[in-house]
């Protein structure tokens, strides 16, 4: 089985205020934390890093300083889903599984990656997710309509692992309605594919805000 890792590092950083994936966090660029973990997983046949156009040459030089293993560079799109698709298109034609991860989740572990890949053996895909700890409310126009039973609620993280051929089919079907997605699992679900949840770690959080950045700094000190 051929397995390709796709690490997305092409975000614009609108909510953060700057392009955070290349910002130095406690001595190294943010994207390198997750990249190093993926490089340590021997099961991968290739690793693809998706970056904004114009950054590829600098990133290639930075990667050479931390690893002898080859890392493919793909150019990001106008949004996350286009960046992921570009990463998939850059993968080997023989790829069976794609493992998609946000570069701004620096605390991913080797164990999470391997568990997610293993879970995909009996389904069409697998997603790392955690249980919410707060009470979940459903509202419209800031008026609560009901309380959601937390027993059935999970907060999706990455990595997310999918059968490549089926994910491409889901993308093709999704293109018909032209809506924006926030993760690949949602379009797989819409196609009726079976996606397994793999319990994740609260520490595998995504750095989206300055508060998240500060939290990451505290954990690394």
Q: What is the largest CA-CA distance in the chain?
A: 55
* 3-state helix/strand/coil string of 41-105: CCCCCEEEEEECCCCHHHHHHHHHHHCCCCCEEEECCCCHHHHHHHHHHHCCCCCCEEEEEECCC
d(CA 113, CA 37): 9
pLDDT at 176: 57
Average predicted confidence (pLDDT) for the chain = 94
Q: What is the arithmetic mean of pLDDT over 121-147?
A: 96
Look at residues 200, 9, 209, 184 and name the one whose alpha carbon lies nearest to residue 108.
Answer: 200
pTM of the model: 0.94
Q: Provide the pLDDT for residue 12.
A: 72
User: Which pLDDT value is given to residue 190?
Assistant: 92
| Helix-helix angle 110-119:30-39, to 10 degrees | 60
User: How many domains, in total, are found in the chain?
Assistant: 1
Q: Which residues of 79-104 are buried (b: 16+ CB within 10 A; e: fewer)?
A: ebbebbbbbbebbeeebebbbbbbbb
Three-state secondary-structure class, residue 134: coil
Q: Count of alpha carbons within 13 Å of 163, Cβ hemisphere only?
A: 16
Q: What is the domain extent for residue 48?
A: 3-220
In order of 82, 113, 164, 208, the CA distances from 89 in angstroms are: 10, 21, 10, 27
The predicted pLDDT at position 95 comes to 98
Mean pLDDT of 196-220: 96
User: How far out from the chain centre does Cα 125 lie?
Assistant: 14
Torsion of CA 39, 8, 5, 27, to 10 degrees: 10
Per-residue pLDDT of 64-93, as tens digits, reads 999 999 999 999 998 888 999 999 999 999
**How many other C-beta atoms lie within 10 A of the C-beta of residue 180?**
8
pLDDT more than 90, % of the chain: 86
- pLDDT value at position 74? 97
150: nearest Cα among 137, 162, 141? 137
Q: For position 100, which CATH number holds?
A: 3.90.550.10
Reported confidence tier of residue 173, pLDDT bands at 50, 70, 90: confident
Q: Judging by beta carbons within 10 Å of its beta carbon (0-12, 13-18, 19+), is residue 145 exposed, middle or buried?
A: exposed
Q: How confident is the model at residue 177 (pLDDT cuts 50, 70, 90)?
A: low
């Amino acid at each position: 089985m051929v397995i390709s890792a796709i690490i997305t590092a092409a975000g614009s950083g609108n909510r953060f205020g700057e392009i955070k994936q290349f910002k130095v966090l406690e001595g190294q660029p943010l994207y390198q934390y997750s990249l190093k973990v993926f490089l340590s997983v021997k099961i991968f046949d290739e690793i693809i890093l998706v970056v904004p156009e114009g950054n590829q040459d600098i990133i290639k030089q930075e990667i050479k300083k931390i690893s002898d293993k080859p890392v493919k560079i793909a150019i990001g799109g106008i949004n996350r889903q286009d960046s992921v698709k570009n990463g998939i298109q850059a993968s080997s034609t023989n790829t069976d599984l794609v493992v998609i991860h946000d570069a701004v989740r620096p605390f991913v572990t080797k164990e999470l990656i391997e568990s997610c890949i293993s879970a995909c053996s009996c389904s069409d895909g697998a997603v790392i997710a955690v249980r919410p700890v707060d009470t979940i409310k459903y509202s419209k126009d800031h008026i609560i309509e009901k309380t959601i039973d937390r027993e059935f609620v999970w907060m999706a993280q990455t990595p997310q692992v999918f059968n490549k051929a089926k994910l491409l089919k889901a993308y093709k079907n999704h293109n018909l309605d032209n809506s924006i997605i926030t993760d690949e699992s949602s379009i797989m679900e819409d196609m009726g594919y079976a996606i397994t949840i793999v319990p994740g770690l609260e520490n595998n959080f995504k750095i989206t805000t300055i508060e998240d950045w500060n939290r990451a700094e505290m954990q690394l000190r």
